């Protein structure tokens, strides 16, 4: 099958793919960073006893998790301008990815926090540690250890989800494939190349996840 | 004698369950009190109210002249004076033994790390575990973990130590080492409340035994009197139960 491949065209379009790869990479990095912030804030609100924080956080998380990402992207893409907000497609896309991943990350962090044994909290309370100290010294160090692998998993999902931004004409990796297809009508070559680059990103993140699992989890502890 | 802990008409409910029913109890400074009773009788809840791990719905608990369940009470200050040892030890698994013990002195008492570590080593010596200061809890036996937990409580220099079934989660051969540490504490004049069924410990060091059933204090007495000649039928059947095991 590879014998029928027109590698010359792929190389001819390589600059376009590399531009797309670069865009996908940048969009992903920015979105992951923003999603992490969103997730931490949403999680803090979600576990807060204050109802004014807790219920909006639940609503946000449930709405995001119950609707498809593509619908969310279209909602922002077509919805924001009618609200008078006019921002470039790429920013709309980053906003969508941020809001989407933020909800999942909030739940991942919450699961990490809940995984810490209640008794250790009571031990902390009994020795006079306040809420912030208990979070900082007892809960978060342990929650982080169990949270990093699923967080990197979510990062991998986000990178692949960013392909949907091609549908609102953001010039990222998948869009490069679409452009080449429309100019040369060689979809197999185009999307083979696109897939190859996504796999490259995937393996980098996966290696990072495995490394962090070895390094960051407190293995002596168990 | 001066009262260290005082329960006045204390009631607590979990929903409809009346877990503490009109508790009146006075524990004086330096006294060693053993609390026993069948499971679900409210004995753990009783001592968990002393440092306000549990709220009460009615009545008052006064510790060292501080009303524990008052809205304005400085809980951090109160808890500095009360060490608590749990059945399941609850050491922090991601910290070494030394870090476990120094965490509260450094962060609550704002002690310098050097001083806190010196105190920690002193307490580790007291429980016979100086060689384990760099170990993680997971590398220790249950008995060793519980002794570290006791050292962690002592490092705050509390006036009261509360023990919630400290030996119930231990293998039989490790119970002795933990009880020995507790007996040594008694000789230092520590005020202690111990929820336990270890009759030997109670007979040896307790000043009084309190027997609870269904949220009430059913009987109070000297350990020898209580275990050998219980006044109530419920206490009698309970003692015969723990004796046959």
DSSP strand pairing (B32-36 vs B208-213): parallel
What is residue A2's predicted lDDT score, i.e. its pLDDT? 62
The angle formed by the CA atoms of residues B201, B202 and B206, to the nearest 5 degrees, is: 115
Please tell me the number of Cα atoms within 13 Å of A183 on its side-chain side.
13
Over residues B95-112, the pLDDT tens digits come to 999 999 999 999 999 999
Return the bridge partners of B195, or none. B35, B164
Q: For tokens 């390094």, what's the residue?
A: A215
Q: Taking CB atoms and an 8 Å cutoff, what residues of chain A touch B156? A: 127-128
Q: Where are the domains of chain A?
A: 13-215
Nearest CA in chain B to A122: B53
Contact (CB, 8 A) for A170 and A23: yes
B42's torsion region: left (phi>0), alpha (psi -120 to 50) or beta? left
Selecting from B53, B76, B94 the residue whose C-beta is nearest the C-beta of A128 gives: B76
Contact (CB, 8 A) for B67 and B60: yes
What is residue B243's predicted lDDT score, i.e. its pLDDT? 78
Nearest CA in chain A to B149: A123
Please give the CATH topology (third level) of the domain spanning A13-215.
MetI-like fold (1.10.3720)
CA-closest candidate to residue B81, choices B165, B179, B191: B191
Over residues B174-202, the pLDDT tens digits come to 999 999 999 999 988 899 999 998 989 99
Q: Taking CB atoms and an 8 Å cutoff, what residues of chain B touch A130? A: 76
Q: Taking CB atoms and an 8 Å cutoff, what residues of chain A touch B90? A: 117, 119-120, 122-123
Phi and psi torsions of B21, nearest 5°: -120, 100
pTM for this prediction: 0.80
Rounded to whole angstroms, how far apart are CA atoms B122 and B127? 9
Selecting from B77, B86, B94 the residue whose C-beta is nearest the C-beta of A142 gives: B94
* B155, two tokens: 């490092």
Distance from CA of A110 to the nearest CA of B (A): 19
Over residues B37-63, the pLDDT tens digits come to 999 899 999 999 999 999 999 999 999
Over residues A12-63, the pLDDT tens digits come to 889 999 999 999 999 999 999 999 999 999 999 999 889 999 999 999 999 9
Which H or E run includes B63? Answer: strand B58-63
- Residue A71 burial by Cβ neighbours in a 10 Å radius (0-12, 13-18, 19+): exposed
Is 90 exceeded by the pLDDT of residue A214? Answer: no
Cβ-defined contact of B84 to A126 (cutoff 8 Å): yes
């Amino acid at each position: 099958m590879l014998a029928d491949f027109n590698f010359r065209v792929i190389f001819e379009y390589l600059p376009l793919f590399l531009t797309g790869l670069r865009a996908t990479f940048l969009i992903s990095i920015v979105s992951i960073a923003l999603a992490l912030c969103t997730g931490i804030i949403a999680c803090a609100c979600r576990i807060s006893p204050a109802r004014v924080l807790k219920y909006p956080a639940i609503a946000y998380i449930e709405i995001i998790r119950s609707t498809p990402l593509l619908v969310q992207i279209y909602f922002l893409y077509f919805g924001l301008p009618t609200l008078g907000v006019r921002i470039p497609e790429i920013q709309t896309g980053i906003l969508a990815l941020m809001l989407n991943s933020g909800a999942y990350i909030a739940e991942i962090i919450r699961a990490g926090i809940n995984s810490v044994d209640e008794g250790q909290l009571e031990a902390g309370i009994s020795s006079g540690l306040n809420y912030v100290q208990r979070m900082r010294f007892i809960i978060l160090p342990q929650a982080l250890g169990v949270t990093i692998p699923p967080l990197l998993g979510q990062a991998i999902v986000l990178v692949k989800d960013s392909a949907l931004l091609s549908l609102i004409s953001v010039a990222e990796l998948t869009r490069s494939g679409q452009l080449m297809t429309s100019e040369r009508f060689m979809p197999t070559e185009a999307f083979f190349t696109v897939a190859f680059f996504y796999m490259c990103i995937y393996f980098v993140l996966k290696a990072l996840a495995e490394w962090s699992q070895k390094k960051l989890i407190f293995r002596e502890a168990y | 004698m001066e009262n260290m802990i005082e329960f006045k008409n204390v009631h607590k409910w979990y929903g409809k369950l009346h877990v503490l029913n009109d508790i009146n109890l006075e524990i004086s400074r330096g006294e060693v009190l053993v609390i026993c009773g069948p499971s679900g009788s409210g004995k753990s809840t009783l001592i968990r109210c002393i440092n306000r791990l549990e709220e009460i719905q009615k009545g008052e608990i006064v510790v060292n002249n501080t009303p524990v369940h008052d809205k304005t009470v400085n809980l951090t200050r109160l808890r500095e004076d009360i060490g608590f040892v749990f059945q399941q030890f609850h050491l922090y698994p991601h910290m070494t033994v030394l870090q476990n013990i120094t965490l509260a002195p450094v962060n609550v008492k704002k002690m310098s790390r050097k001083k806190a570590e010196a105190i920690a080593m002193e307490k580790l010596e007291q429980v016979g575990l100086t060689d384990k200061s760099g170990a993680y809890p997971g590398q220790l036996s249950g008995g060793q973990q519980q002794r570290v937990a006791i050292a962690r409580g002592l490092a705050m220099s509390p006036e009261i130590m509360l023990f919630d079934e400290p030996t119930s989660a231990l293998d039989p051969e490790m119970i002795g080492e933990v009880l020995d540490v507790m007996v040594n504490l008694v000789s230092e004049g520590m005020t202690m409340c111990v929820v336990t069924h270890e009759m030997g410990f109670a007979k040896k060091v307790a000043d009084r035994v309190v027997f609870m059933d269904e949220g009430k204090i059913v009987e109070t007495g000297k350990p020898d009197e209580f275990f050998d000649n219980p006044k109530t039928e419920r206490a009698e059947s309970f003692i015969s139960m723990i004796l046959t095991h």
